[in-house]
Amino acid sequence: MTCCEGWTSCNGFSLLILIILGVVINCIPLGISLVEGDSASQNPISCYEWWLPGIIGAGALAIPATTMSLASRKRACCNNRTGMFLSSLLSVITIIGAVYCMLVSLQALSQGPLICSSQANSTVSCEFSLKNLSDFHPESFSLQWFFQDSCVSPTDLKNSSISDIINNWSVPNSNSEEDRHRIFHFSVFLCLLLVGILELLFGLSQILIGFLGCLCGVSKRRSQIV
């Protein structure tokens, strides 16, 4: 097995694990919303999980490249230059999905759970539109909703001085329902952000190694050598 085949196989298994993690993490808040029923719709922890960043972005869009990467390993039917090229080409879809997962996660971390919104019991502040993602600016990213002693509205944050905000920073605990919502929201979307970053890195590495395997070729099958 050449380094191209070994690297491709490693990328395939790594992406498979990340796909499972992304889907499971995304399904956790969805499952809680369904179990809690009406109470979840009145005051949901968030609605960004319904954008399905882990199921669609880190999950479905990463399946083609993962399948081809696993099929391109040694002695597989796609163990040739074409298989390596396809695994590299399909990794572009993986990168698109990873970027989508990262953008949704960053948007969710920036906005905080709905309980921290001025419209706490409504999903109106979370529109299901890609326009929100295109309007996202990294320089405006803030986790003040997580480090504040209590969730405050955006207008209150603007009226507060920077020194007051820093002095009031504290990590929430599970003593109140609000703190549990904040911890849960932060944990879910931070994990999805990490999954998206890792998928992006593995996708970029597969593009590189796929082109190298396409240019340099792969090893012959054992059946042809014996």
- Percent of the chain whose pLDDT exceeds 90: 29
CB 51 within 8 A of CB 29: no
Residue 226, domain member (yes or no)? no
Residue in 174, 173, 202 with CA at minimum distance from that of residue 11: 202
When the pLDDT of each residue in the chain is averaged and rounded to a whole number, the result is: 75
Domain coverage including residue 10: 3-221
Residue 122, domain member (yes or no)? yes
What is the average pLDDT across 207-220?
76
Residue 173, domain member (yes or no)? yes
Amino acid at site 61: L
What is the average pLDDT across 173-192?
81
- How many CB atoms neighbour CB 78 within 10 A? 18
Separation CA 11–CA 206 (nearest Å): 7
Enumerate long-range contacts of 35-42, CB under 8 Å, 24 or more apart: 42/121
Tally of domains in the chain: 1
Amino acid at site 151: C
Separation CA 65–CA 98 (nearest Å): 12
- Tell me the H-state helices in 38-176: 38-42, 63-71, 81-111, 130-134, 144-147, 154-159, 162-167
Structure tokens at 165: 């905000």
Among the residue ranges 83-92, 127-136, 157-166, 209-218, the one predicted with the least confidence is: 157-166
Structure tokens at 47: 């609605």
pLDDT digits (tens, 9 = 90+) for 67-126: 888 887 655 555 677 777 888 899 999 999 999 999 999 888 888 887 776 554 455 556
Separation CA 221–CA 5 (nearest Å): 12
Residue 18 CA to its chain's centroid (Å): 9
Please indicate whether residue 223 or residue 93 has the higher confidence score (pLDDT): 93
Among the residue ranges 9-23, 171-185, 187-201, the one predicted with the least confidence is: 171-185
* pLDDT confidence bin for 43, thresholds 50/70/90: low
Residue 165, domain member (yes or no)? yes
Residue 94, domain member (yes or no)? yes
